[in-house]
């Protein structure tokens, strides 16, 4: 990231405008989510040639044919977990690391799982540089979750699967919420929120229609 103070001020101004117009302006009013989105420098998670587009209202490409999600979607999915601050969160699909940083502004501890080594390594480096020492980046099959850190107060999946992996439901704390895109096509899904009511009871609700990259793994779409 450039150290030019003028550019720093421009990024800051764009970030605040992004929250006001794209997020709060669309009805997201969770104060913790809004505060987190105001704090995290999205430009740091993009390649230098993409940083001028950091606060545009759209997803942007990163390596490994993946994307950094539209800011509104990051805020929407974070708000959907209804986190109250503190606690432990699991993210499936680290990607650039941007959403993990947003979660780290709210939760005490974030575990984020990425199947691509190059993405995991880069996200780990950037998160460390930004001081997010409460984030653990793991390279693994995210469809299996990360049982070593369970149970989680919230789980968010940033790729669309054909069904809800049982392992993720099992790793959810009672009272916790899992937010995941689910659909029978790889290119279009319903965003689903699952609340664990008790050890054996789950409540499921559909929130909206979304489009995410495929969730690949043992309990997701098969690697092509």
Q: For 193, phi and psi rounded to 5 degrees?
A: -115, 125
Are the CB atoms for 156 and 98 separated by under 8 Å?
no
Query: What's the alpha-carbon Rg for the chain, to the nearest Å?
Result: 16
Structure tokens at 208: 């909206």
Are the CB atoms for 169 and 194 separated by under 8 Å?
yes
Are the CB atoms for 219 and 167 separated by under 8 Å?
yes
- Alpha-carbon span 184 to 24, nearest angstrom: 32
Cβ partners under 8 Å of residue 70, min gap 6 = 57, 58, 59
Strand partners, 216: 221
List residues with catalytic annotation: 69
Burial of 32 (0-12, 13-18, 19+ CB in 10 A): middle
């Amino acid at each position: 990231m450039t150290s030019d103070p003028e550019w720093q001020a421009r990024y800051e101004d764009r970030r605040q405008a992004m929250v006001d117009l794209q997020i709060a302006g669309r009805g997201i009013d969770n104060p913790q989510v809004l505060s987190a989105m105001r704090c995290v420098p999205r430009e740091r998670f993009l390649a230098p040639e993409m940083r001028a587009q950091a606060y545009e209202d759209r997803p942007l490409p990163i390596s490994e044919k993946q994307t950094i999600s539209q800011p509104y979607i990051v805020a929407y999915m974070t708000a959907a977990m209804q986190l109250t601050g503190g606690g432990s969160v699991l993210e499936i699909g680290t990607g650039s690391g941007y959403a993990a940083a947003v979660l780290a502004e709210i939760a005490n501890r974030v575990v984020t799982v990425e199947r691509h080594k190059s993405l995991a390594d880069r996200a780990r480096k950037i998160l460390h540089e930004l001081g997010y020492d409460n984030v653990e980046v793991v390279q693994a099959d995210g469809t299996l979750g990360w049982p070593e850190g369970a149970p989680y107060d919230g789980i968010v999946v940033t790729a669309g699967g054909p069904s809800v992996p049982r392992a993720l439901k099992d790793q959810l704390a009672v009272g916790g919420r899992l937010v995941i895109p689910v659909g029978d096509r790889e290119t279009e899904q319903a965003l689903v929120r699952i609340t664990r009511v008790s050890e054996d009871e789950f409540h499921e609700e559909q929130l909206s229609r979304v489009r995410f990259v495929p969730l690949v793994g043992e309990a997701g779409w098969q690697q092509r």
